[in-house]
Amino acid sequence: MLTPVFSSLVLSAFATVLSAGEVFRFSSYYGSYMILQKAPAKSVVWGFGQTGAKVVVSLSGSHLLEQTYIAPVINGIWRTTLKPMEAGGPYTLTAYHSTTNSSIVLKDVLFGDIWLCSGQSNMAFTVGQVINATEELTMASKFPDVRIFQAALEQSKKELTDLAGVEVPWSKPTPGLLGGKDFSHFSAVCWLFGRYLYEKRKYPIGLVHSSWGGTPVEAWSSPRALQKCGLKSSVISEQNTWSSSVLWNAMIHPLLNMTITGAIWYQGEANANYNRDKYNCTFPGMIDDWRMAFHEGSEGQTALDFPFGFVQLCTYKTKDPTDGFREIRWHQTADYGFVPNKRMKNTFMAVAVDVPDEKSPWGSIHPEDKQDVAFRLVLGARAVAYGEKNVTFQGPFPTQAVLGNSYITIVFNQDIKASHEDGYFEICCSEDRKCETDDKWTPVAISSSGLNYIFLEIPPCPASITAVRYLWTDWPCKFKACPIYSYDGLLPAPPFILGVTNQRPTTVF
């Protein structure tokens, strides 16, 4: 994990330059080789200059009649919104400053879809760390229209207007930029998501990586979002010391003017034992707040409900029911067990509980297989963000659990592929009908299965059977060997808790 360092010298120098009003430049996340958001949205372009001056922005290309925009510099900042541009390029973007008669030229600019990638160490995990890193790195240069940008690791006690630092300016992918093995190069999940998405969409994809290992959701959330969950700004005690909102301030807030398609997220480990019971509020609340802020920052160009994908936590410890991972998985869905749902609309989730990696050189909390995670995220993006029909992006989820004379019937919302192994399902057998503690739960076996249902054996139970749960442990399965998958075997059923009724199943088998 990287140690957080507050770059006060960098920030003070940055603020001095701006107050003097002497620098004419684009904002930090504009540059040659960048990708701007394609139509129907419009891209916002902005930067810094001398107050009172005018900046003339022009966009030109071989198949484009030059477009010109005039932006006054107000309080040291200029900005303009381009006309909607269809996917493609390349284009040249030029900004001319009237007072200094100076120009900045950005070359090889493409229009496409921009995705923001954020979270903690499993998002920071690089392409050089995946299980087949050499093969992945060799392929990188074959995708020059998947462009990457990475924010530097910075914290701030106040919301910054621009990034305090850039780790990787807009670039075409190279093994050198993707291949580090210290969680500091470009994200594997982000890159693979972008590459797989490009192979389906066939137009440029821009990837903006802004993540930091070991970080809780509170550091990525604005004060207003935390207040809605009853949390105040505070110091967060973890392996390192974090303060609420410091990464929101330094690594998200500066990006708000950017027009984006959506975001993907891999985080939650740091909240397994910190504000764990608040995560069903803080995580959905952060999503809501980011959506509102990006929408306002881009003058309405980023959708108010932009698609947000995330990875449900994988595994960490093989036999430790107290590490909090099973609860966080549930809270990641706002306690529904699946997404999208009424609380988390326009979201999608990659279930990762079935891809553990006990022998990972980076520790079992960091599985090397990021390809399956990215593939499942892309299925979600294709269905939720792009509206592709006939794309299955969710594993089976139960619609009802019905108590019979000798078995419990669990009916799923789709056809399933089931294996009859013990140790994955449990029932709550409780005299007081409460199921809060593990001693109320008893393992049960699958006795048989059908097209979209399973039968669970009922063991001796002197009390009431009130609920059933599935995969309710940190490390429930071997690699891709959970008992319930979609009929094609691609997508696992996520962990769930479901009340048991005495009603006859409504689904006809």
Average pLDDT over residues 450-465: 88
Q: What percent of the chain has pLDDT over 90?
A: 82
pLDDT for position 20: 45
Residue 475, pLDDT score: 93
pLDDT band at residue 15 under the 50/70/90 scheme: very low
- Checking if the pLDDT of 323 tops 50, the result is yes
Q: In 3D, which of 223, 230, 222, 212 has the Cα closest to residue 266?
A: 212
Q: Does domain 111-385 have CATH number 3.90.1150.10?
A: no
The C-alpha atoms of residue 137 and residue 496 are separated, in whole angstroms, by 37
| Most distant pair of Cα atoms in the chain: their distance | 86
Q: Check residue 236 and give its pLDDT.
A: 60
Three-state secondary-structure class, residue 74: strand
pLDDT for 209-224, tens place per residue? 999 999 999 999 999 9
pLDDT of residue 163: 97
Q: In terms of Cα–Cα distance, which of 230, 309, 217 is closest to 268?
A: 217
Nearest to 145 by CA among 94, 195, 83: 195
Provide mean pLDDT across the span 96-101: 93
Which residues have CB under 8 Å from 502's CB, separation 6+? 402, 403
- Supply 37's token pair: 């958001």
- Superfamily for the 20-110 domain: Immunoglobulins (2.60.40.10)
Contact 210, 116 (CB under 8 A): yes
Helix or strand holding residue 133 (H, E):
helix 133-139
For the CA atoms of 419, 425, 429, 434, what is the dihedral angle to 10 degrees?
A: -150
CB atoms within 10 A of CB 174: 14
The bridge status of strand 262-266 relative to strand 425-430 is unpaired
Which residue's structure tokens are 């619609």?
399
Using CA atoms of 417, 424, 356, 1 in order, give the dihedral in degrees to the nearest 10.
Answer: 140
Q: What is the pLDDT of residues 46-85, one digit of tens each?
A: 999 999 999 999 999 988 889 999 999 999 999 999 999 9
DSSP string, 221-275: S-HHHHHTTT--S-EEESSSEEETTHHIIIIIGGGTTS--SEEEEE--GGGTTSS
Average pLDDT of the segment spanning 469-489: 95
Give the pLDDT of residue 421: 81
